[in-house]
Amino acid sequence: MTVQDVFSIKGRGTVVTGRIESGTIAVGNEIRIQGKSSSKTAVVSGVEVLRKVTSQAQAGDDAGILLKDIGKEDVQSGDILTGSELDFSWKP
């Protein structure tokens, strides 16, 4: 998923939005946030599709992903979310 927007919800955490490009993402998944020069891991603590809270999102869904222990400054528009076990090379 390519991050389209990032915002913070007071008392909840950081939310990233975008379209799931392949596979699924679910609450409890460990994911990798790949930026141009660094990567970090996070745990998905919430998923929302079509303004409804759900346990997972799948390819084609426009989703909001709530990330545990990630600050708004740690992720930006254009970053890529992948499964934490996937190898990813940044290709601008």
Q: Give the 3-state secondary structure of 50-81.
A: CCEEECEEECCCEEEEEEECCCHHHCCCCCEE
CATH of segment(s) 5-83:
2.40.30.10
pLDDT in tens, 2-29: 999 999 998 899 999 999 999 999 999 9
- What average pLDDT does the segment 66-82 reach? 94
* Spatial contact of 58 and 24, defined as CB atoms under 8 Å apart: yes
Q: Does the pLDDT of residue 86 top 60, yes or no?
A: no
Residue 92 has a pLDDT of 46
**N residues, the chain:** 92
